[in-house]
């Protein structure tokens, strides 16, 4: 692995993010939308398609005479150094490190995650409203921006489904399990795992509807390949998607769905059937609830998971934005709200 260093002289005092923590706090606003933020000190999330201002920059804050930023992974990104800062310029997805060296002493490396851009795109395509509503904002001199530690519970769950599909494919050795092309899947792992799973199709059958030409969300999905092409009113969702995609890609986010491999947005009628089945402890999925064992024969019997913290749908009171589908044993209820 190559190493690239940048060094300069200075006598200033600015901010350096130290070792990463694991604490996460979550609260709900008056509308029941989950808000959360976690400690991401020592970590940076950047996107190939562009990142929010300052989200791609490492800043050192302590008295010093010399400062060096050592790029431990120049195959993934370059560094643009100015004064006490180093801006990360990504050119490939992956996880790398930058080591600040202050007056000849190496500090803890900063972990840099560059998630697959397709993961960011599908999050925007599927859950842009929820990403926007769940994002935690912070105020800066040039305006409000998504906080670097902002958490979207809904985004985490949707992205986890994609990661779960990859894990199921790797366990079984069959990309066709979710219609992924085997050659594409193995072409450049782990990036190709995500690309192949997200864009999997069999003729007119697409695994994720925003990927399908003609779908109402298709243009949004395509535009999210580059932040500069994203509609201004979707920038918060995009920036949250970068953070969400990074934490799922690098493994910081544990699976909140307990192994779900699918999700869907229930209608009010379907949501009512799901709620009735949840309250009654139904042993079988009610007809018309939006999914069935027949939809997923390889995993039958399946279970619908209702996550209490998922952002509510704009379709009506009591309707979750998404419910999730996973395998279950014959002894488990068909519908649950326990991850």
Please provide the average confidence, as pLDDT, over all residues in the chain.
Answer: 90
pLDDT at 29: 59
Q: From CA 302, how far away is CA 16, in angstroms rounded?
A: 47
Asked whether the beta carbons of 307 and 320 are under 8 A apart, the reply is yes
157 pLDDT higher than 90:
yes
- pLDDT, tens digit, 9 for 90 and up, residues 298-337: 999 999 999 999 988 876 778 999 999 999 999 999 999 9
Question: Which of 243, 241, 259 is closest to 160 using CA atoms?
Answer: 259
Structure token pair of residue 86: 């180093």
Asked whether the beta carbons of 95 and 252 are under 8 A apart, the reply is no
Question: Which of 88, 55, 93 is closest to 76 using CA atoms?
Answer: 93
Q: From CA 190, how far away is CA 62, in angstroms rounded?
A: 37
53 pLDDT higher than 90:
no
Asked whether the beta carbons of 240 and 251 are under 8 A apart, the reply is no
Structure token pair of residue 216: 């109402």
Q: What is the pTM of this model?
A: 0.90
The arithmetic mean of pLDDT across residues 52-80, rounded, is: 93
Asked whether the beta carbons of 306 and 265 are under 8 A apart, the reply is no
Least confident of 169-173, 200-204, 312-316: 312-316
pLDDT at 292: 97
Domain boundaries, given as residue ranges, for the chain: 4-17+25-115, 257-339
Q: From CA 212, how far away is CA 182, in angstroms rounded?
A: 20
Least confident of 6-20, 92-106, 184-198: 6-20
pLDDT at 32: 55
Domain range 4-17+25-115, CATH architecture: Sandwich (2.60)
233 pLDDT higher than 70:
yes
Q: From CA 195, how far away is CA 192, in angstroms rounded?
A: 5
Q: What is the 3-state secondary structure (H, E, C) of the chain?
A: CCCEEEEEECCCCCCCCCCCCCCEEEEECCCCCEEEEECCCCEEECCCCCCCCCCCEEECCCCCCEEEEEECCCCCEEEEEECCEEEEEECCCEEEEEEEEECCEECCCEEEEECCHHHHHHHHHHHHHHHHHHCCEEEECCEEEECCCEECHHHHHHHHHHHHHHHHHHHHCCHHHHCCCHHHHCCCCCHHHHHHHHCCEECCEECCHHHCCCCCCHHHHHHCCCHHHCCHHHHHHHHHHHHHHHHHHCCCCCCCCCCCCEEECCCHHHHHHHHHHHHHCCCCCCCCCCCCHHHCHHHCCEEEECCCCCCECCCCCCCECCEEEEECCCCCCCEECCC
Structure token pair of residue 227: 């932040």
Structure token pair of residue 214: 């003609």
Half-sphere exposure of 258 (CA within 13 A, CB side): 16
The residue assigned the tokens 């544990």 is 254
């Amino acid at each position: 692995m190559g190493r690239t260093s940048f060094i300069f002289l200075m006598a200033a005092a600015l901010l350096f993010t130290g070792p990463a923590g694991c604490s996460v706090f979550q609260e709900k606003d008056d509308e029941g939308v989950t808000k959360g933020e976690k400690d991401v000190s020592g970590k940076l999330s950047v996107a190939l398609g562009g990142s929010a201002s300052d989200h791609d920059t490492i800043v050192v804050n302590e008295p010093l005479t010399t400062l060096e930023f050592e790029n431990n992974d120049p195959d993934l990104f370059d560094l643009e150094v100015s004064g006490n800062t180093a801006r990360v310029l990504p050119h490939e997805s992956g996880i790398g490190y930058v080591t600040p060296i202050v007056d000849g002493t190496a500090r803890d490396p900063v972990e840099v995650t560059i998630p697959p851009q397709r993961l960011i795109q599908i999050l925007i395509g599927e859950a842009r409203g929820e990403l926007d509503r769940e994002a935690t904002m912070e105020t800066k001199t040039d305006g409000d921006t998504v906080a670097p530690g902002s958490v979207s519970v809904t985004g985490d769950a949707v992205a986890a489904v994609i990661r779960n599909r990859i894990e199921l494919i790797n366990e079984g050795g069959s990309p066709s399990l979710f219609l992924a092309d085997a050659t594409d899947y193995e072409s450049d792992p782990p990036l190709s795992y995500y690309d192949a799973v997200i864009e999997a199709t069999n003729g007119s059958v697409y695994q994720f509807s925003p990927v399908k030409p003609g779908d109402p969300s298709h243009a949004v999905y395509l535009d999210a390949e580059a932040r500069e092409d994203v509609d201004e009113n979707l920038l918060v969702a995009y920036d949250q998607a970068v953070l969400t995609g990074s934490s799922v890609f690098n493994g910081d986010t544990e699976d909140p769905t307990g192994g779900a491999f699918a999700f869907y947005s229930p209608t009010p009628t379907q949501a009512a059937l799901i709620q009735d089945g949840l309250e009654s402890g139904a042993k079988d999925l009610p007809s018309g609830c939006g999914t069935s064992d027949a939809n997923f024969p390889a995993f039958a019997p399946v279970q619908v998971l209702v996550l209490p913290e998922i952002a509510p749908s704009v379709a009506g009171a009591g309707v979750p934005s998404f419910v999730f589908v996973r395998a279950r044993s014959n002894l488990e209820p068909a519908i649950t709200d326990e991850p």
